[in-house]
Amino acid sequence: MSEQKTCRYHPDRPAAALCQKNGHGLCSECLEDAHCFGPELYCKYRTQCIIFYTEKENRRARRQPQSAVGA
């Protein structure tokens, strides 16, 4: 019996990513603005955490290089 995990904020949506530490799921929409559930706490799953990885990528994407200056 495998229980389908759902989004922590949208119980009606399936989880696209899962916090292995807390067991919290995030749907694809929430994953677009993903935040680690415990960024200050040690997490042994962090190196393979989709949520943490996405959060990091999002932060980098938001802070875009100023190459478009003068456009």
* Interface ranges with Zn ion (CB under 5 A): 7, 9-10, 27, 30
Tell me the closest approach of the beta carbon of residue 67 to Zn ion, in angstroms: 33
Tell me the closest approach of the beta carbon of residue 12 to Zn ion, in angstroms: 9
- Using the minimum distance from each CB to Zn ion, give the nearer residue, 11 or 65: 11
Torsion 50-55-59-62 (CA) sign: positive
The rounded distance, in Å, linking the Cα atoms of 40 and 70 is 39
Tell me the closest approach of the beta carbon of residue 1 to Zn ion, in angstroms: 24
- Using the minimum distance from each CB to Zn ion, give the nearer residue, 29 or 57: 29
Burial of 20 (0-12, 13-18, 19+ CB in 10 A): middle
